[in-house]
Amino acid sequence: MFLSETRARAARVVSGLTIAVNATALGLGLAGLGKGLPLNVVLLLALVGNVLLHVAVRKTPLWGGRALTWFWAASMPFLIEEPYVSERTAVAFLLPPALAMVLAGRKTVVATVLLQLPILILRAPTPLASPYLGPTFLVMSGMVVGLLLVAQHLLLGALHEAARTAAGFELISRETTDVVLIRRPTGVEGESEVLFMSPAVAKITGYPPGEVERGAINIYDLVHPEDLPRLSASREEVLAERGASRSVDIRVRHKEGHWLWFQARGTNLLHEPYVGGVVTTLQNITEAREARMRFERELAHQAEHDPLTALPNRRVLQRDLETAFAARSSIAVLFCDLDGFKIVNDSLGHDVGDRLLRSVTARVSAVVDGRGVLYRFGGDEFVVLCPDAAPDTRPVDLAREIMDSLRRPLDLEGREVFVNASIGVAFGAGHEKPDTLIRDADVAMYRAKESGRDRIEVFDDDMRRSARRRHDVEQALRRAVAAEELSVVYQPRFHASTRLVLGFEALVRWTDADLGPVSPTEFVPIAEETGLIIAIGLWVLERAAEQLRVFRARFPGKALSMSVNLSARQLLGEVKISEVVRDVLRRTSIPPASLELEITEGIFVSRAETVVQVLSSLRALGVRLSVDDFGTGYSSLAYLRRFPIDAMKIDRTFITDMVTDRDDATIVRVVIELARALGIRTTAEGVENEDQARMLTELGCDELQGFHLARPMTAEAAEDLLQRTTMVQAIPEKTAAGA
């Protein structure tokens, strides 16, 4: 119905144009009579005008385009028909005001129909032509006798295109899989008349178009009830504004009962004379929608599951804990950390480490199955949530079974790998938030590690007090570092034979206004874990170097040295430690050899190549390097040959009982002899009595340090000590290039 009406409208318009063309001569005659000219003159002018225009049109380069033509001569408008193509005509006369507008460069011509023919589309002020392409002046005998204007008629072209492509539109709408629906409101609220419904409605809904057009099936009755409000709101927005277009995704029920997803787009074309309705297209997006939903589900799964082990992650753990807390369930949390995983990962590579984690996951999952939920918390840490923790022995029994399962070797593609687990257990009772339960289980796990690893610890009140204390110390330490409230004390190092002062070791101390004196054994590990040790280490290094400069300036005849501890984070941090030390040496002007940097054995266990490079860069500055607490860490003699070491400090654990314990005495003697053979100085720390000092001296130890000789002291006390003693030139000094 819609297409047939469109064809009829186009045909009427084209027919009207033909009538207008045939009436051209009559129009010219009436125009001439209107100006008071005799009829024969009018006809002559019409004839001459036609001839001139034909000649001019065929000579202008614009000829051949789909255009309308006007010719104006002797102050009288002529409208000439091109005899072969009737579409290039228009029934209009350029009156003087309109002509003036054209000559002024206007692109819109105001047209007036002189003959009262049924061609209302050309009534003023309809835009007749755009854009303006002329003018071309006609010259006869050197005089301008006329003006040719050429322009494109928009509406005429649209009418012919509509008539010419009507059949094509009907064919396309029949073949397309999209539904095209054109409806016109009837004036009754909520009701509308179907002007057109494409045949595709049968393919996608199972209902033939005829049923819909006859009203047997209302297309809106097929829309899912949950989608109707959005569809209605979209339709109201479209009807409220000319040309408005809105789209909304809806579900439509197929005749067989299942639901299909469509994107419904409505466009208000009620104002368009050749449409006169709201055009709605329904595009089937079921497959795309389902694919998107699958993709969204996959994204949601990835967001909540570990990609390596496929276990739920800590985000899911947090949500499950909140649910359990809300239900006031009797729950427990097992916090598991693999012992030895880092060594496997560093020595055998990350691929082997990943396979190890997957194997551990499979083994622990088999144990936990049906008794809890296993989550990967991060790295080599796993958490088990036990929803039924009564009686209290159940979670502990489960933890024991997990540990037993991991004690058996894991087969990684023919390679046996052994790992253990340290497990902390915390119960939900007494906890108000999930975060505190996880934190307490973590604290218990660390207690298990500190107690020897491969064991289980249950969180208790003592741990709670320790955790609270640790939190208080950490917060206060952060404030102290920012406010530079730490202090440095200096413990003398003595020549073993002469008991003369060789130098000092700089040690950091801290007394908090609320906590009181805090032992370095308590706050230094916290500083290591939090990264505060980098700022603390730099601050101590600068203070110690400056104090050494003061000591050497006041006691110029004494070759004093200063030892400063470097943490692993300082040594391997983002900021190059060699540049930091170089800057300190430059600002204090102390001899490089008077600065000794102490590092612990643990630094050699990983990133050996990097460590070699860093130590070599420090050694190039001329500073000395010493291994602190020798024998308690890595305990490998290989690094003594590989790394540029100047001195080693024998740990106090071997010194304490060396006088009465033959094994300790043997270890100390072997270490001293080995160091002497390699040209490395030895310092015994923790010397508490004269028997130890005398025995170390007899074994050939180079330096002694401990409470028996001197306790750590302030800079002022150190100056008093130096004034009472004499010095020996025990450490040869050398200047490093560029220091």
- Mean local confidence (pLDDT), 152-157: 43
513 pLDDT exceeds 70?
yes
- How high is the mean pLDDT of the chain? 76
Query: Considering Cα of 349, then 355, then 359, then 365, what sign does the dihedral take?
Result: positive
Domain ranges of the chain: 2-158, 176-289, 305-459, 488-724
User: Cβ distance 654 to 672 under 8 Å?
Assistant: no
Q: Which two tokens stand for residue 311?
A: 């276990």
478 pLDDT exceeds 90?
yes
The C-alpha atoms of residue 539 and residue 488 are separated, in whole angstroms, by: 9
Where in 241-276 does DSSP place strands (E)?
245-253, 259-269
- Using 50, 70 and 90 to split pLDDT, how confident is the model at 178? confident
- Using 50, 70 and 90 to split pLDDT, how confident is the model at 632? low
The C-alpha atoms of residue 415 and residue 339 are separated, in whole angstroms, by: 18
The CA-atom distances, in angstroms, between 497 and each of 210, 259, 651, 678, 695 are 116, 96, 20, 21, 11
What is the predicted pLDDT for the residue at 73? 37
What is the predicted pLDDT for the residue at 203? 75
User: Other C-beta atoms within 10 Å of 446: how many?
Assistant: 18
- Using 50, 70 and 90 to split pLDDT, how confident is the model at 702? very high
What is the predicted pLDDT for the residue at 477? 97
The C-alpha atoms of residue 129 and residue 150 are separated, in whole angstroms, by: 9
542 pLDDT exceeds 80?
yes
The domain 305-459 is placed in CATH, from the list 3.40.50.300, 3.10.20.740, 3.30.70.270, 3.40.50.360, at: 3.30.70.270
The domain 176-289 is placed in CATH, from the list 3.40.630.30, 3.20.20.140, 3.40.640.10, 3.30.450.20, at: 3.30.450.20
The domain 488-724 is placed in CATH, from the list 3.90.1150.10, 3.40.50.970, 3.20.20.450, 3.40.50.300, at: 3.20.20.450
Q: Tens digit of pLDDT for each residue in 20-45?
A: 222 333 333 333 333 333 333 333 33
What order do you get walking across the sheet with 420-427 strand by strand? 373-378, 381-386, 332-339, 420-427, 456-458
Phi, psi of 37 (to 5 degrees): -90, 150
